[in-house]
Amino acid sequence: MKKFLILIGINLIPILLTFIFLILNLTSHGMKYLYPAGVFSGISFLFLFSSLLYLILWKKKRIMVQFDERQVKSRGDCFSISFFVLVGCLIIDGMIRFHFDIEWSSYFVGTFTWIMVAIGVFAILAIWKDAYTSSEKNRMKFGIFLIVIGILDFGIGLGMGLLDGFIVDKKIAIPFINIFGGVLLCSIATNLFIKIKLDGREVLKDEEFETEVC
């Protein structure tokens, strides 16, 4: 629990600074506070991405302790599927840009969007294959963490988009990354909570069945 609180605190610092500069920008007549707000918004996304990467590596170190052989195999399958999803999205994106000459976003926004899609595919598949985490208590904590960070990330993207525009030069702008990332994190958390609920019902049914047999 302490690790999650530390990670939330680290992610909150640039997010709070972003909101402070956004408020200053709204109360001032110029746009001088918009640039630092954008900088801290980008930093908040990097912090979030780094936190998720840290959690993945941390969980990987404990994989032999937490997961059985079936779960390890399922996680490998999920990684493989998410990798091919990422490759497929990048190929389709390249075809849209070069073959159809449609620049729907900058390369930065496009690449990060497809990376987030691949991460979401892995997470959701792993959840439903019972290979995300072996502890229900850890699942609840991690789900709450994702909800909190997702809502904050969505709020930053929405605020930046309203101030600076969601589409710039006929291209989807950087606020889309924060908005999409926030929605994705909340979707992962929602799937996690639904799976926990369904697992709880299955355990209850098994207990009732054992009681009837006895």
pLDDT tens, the chain, 214 aa long: 566 667 667 767 777 777 787 777 777 766 666 667 666 766 766 676 666 666 666 555 554 445 667 777 888 899 899 999 999 999 999 999 988 888 999 888 899 899 999 989 999 998 888 877 655 556 787 788 788 888 888 887 887 788 778 888 889 988 888 899 889 989 999 999 998 888 877 755 655 555 555 5
In a domain, 86, yes or no: yes
Domain range spanning residue 178? Answer: 65-213
In a domain, 28, yes or no: no
In a domain, 30, yes or no: no
SS (H, E, C) the chain: CHHHHHHHHHHHHHHHHHHHHHHHHHHCCCCCCHHHHHHHHHHHHHHHHHHHHHHHHHHHHCHHHHCCHHHHHHHHHHHHHHHHHHHHHHHHHHHHHHCCCCCCECHHHHHHHHHHHHHHHHHHHHHHCCCCCCCHHHHHHHHHHHHHHHHHHHHHHHHHHHHHCCEECCEECCHHHHHHHHHHHHHHHHHHHHHHHHHHHHHHHHHHHHHHHC
pLDDT of residue 51: 67
In a domain, 44, yes or no: no
The pTM of the full predicted model, rounded to 2 decimals, is 0.70
In a domain, 206, yes or no: yes
Please name which of 53, 8, 17 lies closest in space to residue 145, comparing C-alpha atoms.
Answer: 8
In a domain, 29, yes or no: no
- Please give the Cα distance from 78 to 122 (Å, whole number): 5
And the tokens for 135? 């502890």
And the tokens for 146? 């994702």
Question: 94-99 long-range contacts, Cβ below 8 Å, gap at least 24?
Answer: none
Query: Structural domain tally of the chain?
Result: 1
And the tokens for 192? 């996690």
In a domain, 113, yes or no: yes
In a domain, 5, yes or no: no
